[in-house]
Amino acid sequence: MHRFDSAADALARAILDYALERVRLDPPPLDHPRTAAELTELTGQTITAEGIGGERAFALFTDVLAPATLSVDHPRFWSFVPAAPTEAAVLFDVVVAASGIYGGSWLEGAGAVHAENQALRWLADLAGLPAAAGGVFVSGGTAGNLSALVAARHRWRTRHPARSRERGLIAAASSAHSSVAAAARVMDCDVVSVPADERGRLTGAALAATIDALEPGAPLFAIVATAGSTNAGVVDDLAGAADQAERLGIWFHVDGAYGLAALCAPSARHLFEGIDRADSFIVDPHKWLFTAFDCCALVYRDPAQARAAHTQHAEYLDVLTGADEWNPSDFAHHLSRRPRGLPFWFSLATYGTDAYRDAVESALLLTQATARMVEQAPHLQLVMEPELSVVMFQRDGWSWADYQAWSDQLLADQLGFVVPSSWHGEPVLRLCFINPRTTMADVRAVLETLS
């Protein structure tokens, strides 16, 4: 199984050809999920003592398993936050997989880590962080938020050793992503929820009021602001949040998993005023920066503070931790890691940052044009003016069941993938655009089905 076998050559080429054909499909099939019972029926038992052979396993993937997975990169996939990896990113992911690179330490992965760090530097520069800033690529926003908050609490405990047994408290808006509460559960600390304004934004004033109402000496160690809320795509008052963090001398983390990609778009830059004051931020290149799953960039203003919180110590690691080198494992809750930032780096290096700017701007333009189209439809009501690339609206007279039935039919017809969401307790439709291949004709075709 570890020896090259020329009989396997045809299969190897078929696999690589498939990958190239798939990434070039325009559009790829949207496809749809199936039940576990249906899939078991179709695949039978695939794990056997003798193996079923590569041809058979690959045919099961292409004929049964792949069609039972949605294509997140389909131009009419507008649920959650879609993805649209570039050809360069996808193909380079294949190279990364083949290259046997351990991305946790400089000793083992220097070349890869160097390239990843250049990609992180582009993001740190966009945010206006100092030259000493740096970080690591982790699996996703959930892992990034957790690692940043662990570093935040570690700094607070180091500064207040007498309080290091206290549970700790994070301030975040009611509209913050679910992963912030998940991080607090893992860390066994609490979140004080700051009421968001009517658009779902955290404001400096509401944050100050919530903080001032806490009991004296509350163990508040971090403020989390969101740069692009997942549901509505609105950006918190980052400067106001930074003011409060500064007033209290605590960590300021910005969750930009979806929205901070728009830092590279001049037309949206003003929304992120104050990002340069963050102690840490995250952005998921697997969302709006066009790379393959899974990839979150986590950047710290002062990486030494993250290292103090995260470095693992053991006899077998002394050779790494003693060295004065950049070990990505030191900056998050992980040790072994694939250099998952390399496909992003390769794509950025290939096309250049201007192409990224244009691709992000194209989604912002499409969003504005879609909002105007919704406004013109008498039976559709725009919930709010979009800030980034989410259009939220309602269909007159529809209940939750109507929205769900429409969504199911849209997917059944392979016309698009749009799941309902809710806003202030009311069902809404929410279109999230990131794919530069999406056209106004796509939007029109889907909106027409709502009449």
Q: Could you say whether residue 285 binds ligand PLP (CB under 6 A)?
A: no
* List of long-range contacts for 397-400, beta carbons under 8 Å, 24+ apart: 398/427, 399/427, 400/427
Nearest partner of 152 among 184, 181, 129, judged by Cα: 184
Determine the Cα–Cα distance for residues 419 and 417; give it in Å rounded to an integer. 7
The least distance separating ligand PLP from the CB of residue 106, rounded to whole angstroms, comes to: 26
The least distance separating ligand PLP from the CB of residue 312, rounded to whole angstroms, comes to: 22
- Secondary structure element (H or E) that encloses residue 220, with its range: strand 220-226
Positions 163 through 222 that interact with ligand PLP (CB under 6 A): 177, 179
Quick one: tokens of 133?
């800033």
Nearer to ligand PLP, 252 or 258 (CB): 258
Nearer to ligand PLP, 103 or 219 (CB): 103
Quick one: tokens of 80?
């959650």
**Residue from 89, 169, 224, 257 binding ligand PLP (CB under 6 A):** 257
Nearer to ligand PLP, 258 or 356 (CB): 258
**Residue from 92, 137, 258, 300 binding ligand PLP (CB under 6 A):** 258
Nearer to ligand PLP, 127 or 296 (CB): 296
Distances (CA, A) of 198 to 174, 177, 423: 11, 17, 10
The least distance separating ligand PLP from the CB of residue 297, rounded to whole angstroms, comes to: 11
- Secondary structure element (H or E) that encloses residue 135, with its range: strand 134-138
Determine the Cα–Cα distance for residues 160 and 235; give it in Å rounded to an integer. 32
Positions 288 through 327 that interact with ligand PLP (CB under 6 A): 296
The least distance separating ligand PLP from the CB of residue 264, rounded to whole angstroms, comes to: 17
Positions 132 through 151 that interact with ligand PLP (CB under 6 A): 140-142
The least distance separating ligand PLP from the CB of residue 422, rounded to whole angstroms, comes to: 16
Nearer to ligand PLP, 183 or 264 (CB): 183
DSSP assignment of 380-434: EEESS--SSSEEEEEETT--HHHHHHHHHHHHHTTS-B--EEEETTEEEEEEE--
The least distance separating ligand PLP from the CB of residue 256, rounded to whole angstroms, comes to: 7
Positions 59 through 88 that interact with ligand PLP (CB under 6 A): 81
The least distance separating ligand PLP from the CB of residue 140, rounded to whole angstroms, comes to: 3
- Tokens 């969302």, located at residue: 287
The least distance separating ligand PLP from the CB of residue 141, rounded to whole angstroms, comes to: 2
Nearer to ligand PLP, 23 or 227 (CB): 227
Q: Residues in contact with ligand PLP, total (CB under 6 A)?
A: 13
The least distance separating ligand PLP from the CB of residue 292, rounded to whole angstroms, comes to: 13
How would you class 442 by CB atoms within 10 Å of its CB: exposed for 0-12, middle for 13-18, buried for 19 or more?
Answer: buried
- Tokens 């690339």, located at residue: 389
Positions 353 through 412 that interact with ligand PLP (CB under 6 A): none
Nearest partner of 295 among 77, 85, 21, judged by Cα: 85
The least distance separating ligand PLP from the CB of residue 104, rounded to whole angstroms, comes to: 20
Nearer to ligand PLP, 226 or 329 (CB): 226
Question: Which region, judged by CB under 6 A, interacts with ligand PLP, from 5-13, 114-122, 252-260, 324-332?
Answer: 252-260
Q: List, in sequence order, every beta strand (DSSP E) within 228-385.
A: 251-255, 280-283, 296-300, 380-382
Beta carbons of 379 and 450 less than 8 angstroms apart = yes
**Residue from 243, 255, 330, 442 binding ligand PLP (CB under 6 A):** 255
| Contacts with 263 (C-beta within 8 Å, 6 or more apart), sequence order | 123, 126, 127, 256, 269, 272, 275, 283
Determine the Cα–Cα distance for residues 96 and 167; give it in Å rounded to an integer. 41
Nearer to ligand PLP, 242 or 320 (CB): 242
**Residue from 105, 203, 210, 226 binding ligand PLP (CB under 6 A):** 226
Q: List, in sequence order, every beta strand (DSSP E) within 308-389.
A: 380-382
Residue ranges that bind ligand PLP, judged by CB under 6 A: 81, 140-142, 177, 179, 226, 230, 255, 257-258, 284, 296
